[in-house]
Amino acid sequence: MNWLRAVSIAAVVLLLIPIAVLLYYGLGPFRSPAGYTTAVFRSIELSIVASAVAALIDFALFTPVAYYLARGNDAIVESLIDIPVGIPHPIIGVALLILDSPLTPTGQFLLFLGINFFNTILGLVVALVIMSAPIYIKAMQPFFESRDASAEEFAMGLGASRMRTLVSIVLPDSVSGVVSASLVAMSRALGEFGSISIIAFYVLQYPFYGVSPASVTIFQLFNGAIPGGLNAAVTASAAMILVALPITVAGHFFRRRSR
């Protein structure tokens, strides 16, 4: 058991070394004022807002999916859910771009309805939902599976539908699990780059007109598209870690409470 613990700790340390090094240089030797500009903080603000909205949508739309999988054991649906995270993430951005393109019937229809994904908050949130929803479902499914189903069976025995049972019986007793899964999904959304770098490289809408998501801004600092260079990219990355860390810790706290 001691050897297993030692190996586990060593493996975790290997995962965290790059983060620790980045924090050290970003907050110390490589610290750059260009990494603390208004544009950087606005980009972090945009990412937090969009990720929080995506997590709320995950809760509203995909909690029933997680509950269905926990009680229904549908292997086909479970496999389909893994598709967005199993393919290169830029593909999701390209897919949304084509879906909303005026060159396609779907795009013409969406634009007729006034729906535009390209460089909008809507497009950013949609991409984040697609990328974070599988994580939310995978976090909620085992939580539902671990619940005693006797109260649910009793409610359905009295004539309640499975959906009504979820809303009236299961969810009121699942607050810690929902919060934990939502924070995990939000953390995943905060770290997204591939899809949003295509569909929402810039947001051209109030109140974030001309602002890029944080991961895109860091990439622009690194490649020189925004003045600052490597030092600014490292500093901005460290700032983003400090913002994301409390969300991760809170998710862990609520996950332990839900057990």
Task: For residue range 19-47, list pLDDT tens digits in order.
Answer: 999 999 998 888 888 888 888 999 999 99
pLDDT of residue 255: 75
Q: Give the pLDDT mean for 113-139.
A: 95
Residue ranges making up the domain that contains 181? 38-258
> The CATH number of the domain where 127 resides is what?
1.10.3720.10
Predicted confidence (pLDDT) per residue in 154-207, tens digit: 888 888 888 898 988 899 888 889 999 999 999 999 999 999 999 999 999 889
253 found inside a domain: yes
23 found inside a domain: no
Is the model's pLDDT at 51 over the cut of 80? Answer: yes
CA gyration radius, the chain: 21
Do residues 176 and 118 make contact, with C-beta atoms less than 8 angstroms apart?
no
pLDDT of residue 99: 94
pLDDT of residue 256: 73
pLDDT of residue 81: 92
pLDDT of residue 28: 87
CA distance 186 to 58: 9
Q: Give the pLDDT mean for 110-121.
A: 93
Determine the residue type at 88: P
181 found inside a domain: yes
**How many domains does one find in the chain?**
1
pTM of the model: 0.92
**DSSP state, residue 19:** H
**If phi over 0 gives left and psi between -120 and 50 gives alpha, with beta otherwise, what is residue 228?**
left
215 found inside a domain: yes
pLDDT of residue 6: 87
Is the model's pLDDT at 241 over the cut of 90? Answer: yes
2 found inside a domain: no
221 found inside a domain: yes
